[in-house]
Structure 1
Amino acid sequence: MAIQTHPSTITKFRAGEALVLTDTLAVEEPLGIALLHGPARQRKNLSVTMRTPGQDEELALGFLFTEGIIRRYDEVQELRHDDHHQLTVILREDVSLDLPTLERNFYTSSSCGICSKASVDAVRTLSTFSLPADAPSTWTVTPDWLHQLPERLRQQQALFAQTGGIHAGALFEPGGSLLLLREDVGRHNALDKLVGNALQAGQLPLQNQVLLLSGRASFELIQKAAMAGIRFVAAVGAPSSLAVELAQEMDLTLVGFLREDQFNVYHGLERIQPALTT
């Protein structure tokens, strides 16, 4: 099993007293993601991401899918761990790639998944599973149910409980139970792991699930959600302006600042019942 925490001796100052204690840190390590593709089995080193070890295959699959590099799990022939810090995704020989797109080398840190990309246009990937903008809502949730989500998430965050330094993404059945949770030092990694899991299980698009983010909602996270067909994203933190613009463009319900007694709706109010007055 991957080591996800690391002990560290610290000096803690509290009430004027210095205490030597052992703290528990979330592990952050690099993972290189490479492709083998084509009849000649060409190798392309695609990305280095700083991640919490664990569910590396899900992470790689989710990353490749949300970047538009693969469309289906059956395009993958094999997932090979070269070592602890390198994973190679071997594609079927007949899978064609957009090689000019792959000429971009990614460096993905735990805090920013698109820092190396030149512009918004370079990351505005067309959603594979996006629904028409006028697609009717087939389900709604209540404010009372939404208010419960942050605490339900915290109760299941084992790594956060130990370290206080980890992000999470979780999928919920609308108005119901927690379906899947992933944690990582990178918020985008946690979401990629969720998407990768769904891709392997043949569960995409995720249009009948609610995605909960433990932190803020950035443009990249909304883009990844849209790529996976998610129609409802709730975040404990704030959304960015580009995240709101993309949610509007994709007709995706976006909730921010979700607390036990409040939340803000930035788009998609019709998916929350009873209808709120504006």
Structure 2
Amino acid sequence: MSVPTAPVEPVRMSQPQFSELPRLARRHPLVFAGGGLLAVLIILAFAAPLYVGDPLNIDPFSRLQPPSSENWLGTDNLGRDVFARMAVGARISLMVGLISAASAVVLGLLVGVMAGYNRSFDNIVMRLMDGLMSIPSMLLAIALVSLTGSGVGILIFAIMITQIPSTARQVRSVVLSVRQRAYVEAAVCGGARLPKVLWRHILPSTVPLLMVQSANLCASAILTEAGLSFLGVGLPSEIPSWGNMISSSRLYLAVAPWSVLAPGICLAMTILAVNLFGDGLRDLFDPRAKRAR
């Protein structure tokens, strides 16, 4: 006699709960506000060739023209479209900020982990990091650019070098704290190899720090690039960037304020978006910091 069995229901894959997004946005507004604004800026910047004209086109008969239907943000002292240059400059500034911050985080992570886990390596490398941190980052970047020449790659390398020490020291402090915990000592006593201990027990503890640090370094890199270009030691003047735009138009502020205000406002909005996103990540990973404010 066969026993009746209940029909087996097909296994349903869990679908993303988009209805949870409003609740998450209320709980972490800074992450959504900063991340949303930053995403919009990145999309508009990298899609700039699709909706703007040539940012290098010079028209001497259209110098210092106010905003119009043909030139949405007017023209600069050489007759170039300010909106086109601002959109293309956003791509340059964001690329410099993202690449230099990501490179600094990766190299700082490697240096910090090895310094925190190997005392002999710590004594040598961290003294070098202390020496780099004693030099102002702007002056060090100016010296590197002056010695090697200007260019996007050189500028990214110069900014990255100035950002590695702070990341390495913060990662080292986390590693020194985590390596003393019981589960790490148990893994070492159990015969776990060093790469496995680092990958499974040490590196996960540095992820929250690195995510917040990446946002801070990105904002600092964008400001450093704009400052170096403004001083004339960053990107070449023919490359449209926000720092170059402000530098070349500062003498015409009284006649054509739009040529300076447009890149300045975009720079401020980008830094605000990155800082909001970084503050939101800090509150997300460390609720105690949010309660303390």
- TM-score, normalized by the shorter chain, greater than 0.5: no
The answer to which structure has the higher strand fraction is 1
- If asked which structure has higher relative contact order (CA below 8 Å, sep 6+), I would say 2
Asked which structure has the greater CA Rg, the reply is 2
The answer to which structure has the higher helix fraction is 2
Please report the TM-score for the alignment, with normalisation by the length of structure 1: 0.19
Please report the TM-score for the alignment, with normalisation by the length of structure 2: 0.18
